[in-house]
Structures are given as C-alpha cells and as structure tokens.
C-alpha cells in the first residue's frame, strides 16, 4: 500500500531563509505526487504536482519540489521564506489501487512558521 511520511510536524524559519519541507513516499508503481497548502481557515489548494514529465517541478508562490526516485523523496523548497508562507503543507501520493481517480494518501502535514 502507498504511504507518505512528512518529517517534522512543525518547521520554523526566519523571513528570507530557505524553506525545506521533507516528504518521503512508498509506492510500488511510479507515483503521482502532490504538495497541497492550507492557509488558516481555508481548504487545501494545490501547490504543485509531479507527473513524471520532469523531476524538478515548479509550483505557485515560488515553491518547487524535486522527485528523487533513488531516495523515494519529494521535498518541497523555497529559496526565501515570506511571512505569507506561514501555513500547513501536505504531501500526497495518488493511490489508483483505491478504485477512484483522485484518491490520495496524505501525509500528516507540516506546519510552517515564519519569524520576522
């Protein structure tokens, strides 16, 4: 079965510093991988997705993620944090074995805090 592990439930960075949020997955087949962001009092919205077209994926708001098959990782990065990046971030992997397209397995989330 597919699974997703996010290392670190809370990450705190200073404004302008590098953001690195870690995600490792297990999958028996080539996966589709996603990063979603949830701002306070809102639903989730897609940041970026990996679909095997390119290993380095660029998303919205300056975020990017690199798919590394050898490490089964899909870490999310941003070179310079902004106060508005404070949110909870979820890594997810598609699970076609669960019958319906769109069925995702989510990680437990990483809450990002940005200090001024």
Partner 1 sequence: DVKVTQSSRYLVKRTGEKVFLECVQDMDHENMFWYRQDPGLGLRLIYFSYDVKMKEKGDIPEGYSVSREKKERFSLILESASTNQTSMYLCASHPLIRDTNEKLFFGSGTQLSVL
Residues in contact with partner 1 by CB under 8 A are 6, 9, 32, 34, 36, 41-46, 49, 51, 90, 94, 96, 99-104, 106-109
- The least CB distance from residue 116 to partner 1, in Å, is 25
- The least CB distance from residue 78 to partner 1, in Å, is 20
- The least CB distance from residue 62 to partner 1, in Å, is 19
Contact between 25 and 34 under an 8 Å Cβ cutoff? The reply is no
Strands 73-78 and 3-7: unpaired
51 or 61: whose CB is closer to partner 1?
51
CA–CA gap between residue 16 and residue 59 (Å, rounded): 18
CA–CA gap between residue 40 and residue 51 (Å, rounded): 28
């Amino acid at each position: 079965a597919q699974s997703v592990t996010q290392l670190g439930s809370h990450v705190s960075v200073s404004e302008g510093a590098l953001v690195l949020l870690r995600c490792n997955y297990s999958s028996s087949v080539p996966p589709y991988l996603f990063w979603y962001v949830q701002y306070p009092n809102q639903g989730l919205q897609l940041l970026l997705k990996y679909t095997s077209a390119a290993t380095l994926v660029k998303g919205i708001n300056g975020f990017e993620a690199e798919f590394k098959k050898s490490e089964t990782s899909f870490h999310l990065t941003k070179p310079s944090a902004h106060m508005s990046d404070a949110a909870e971030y979820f890594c997810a992997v598609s699970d076609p074995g669960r019958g319906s397209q769109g069925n995702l397995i989510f990680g437990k989330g990483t809450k990002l805090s940005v200090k001024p």
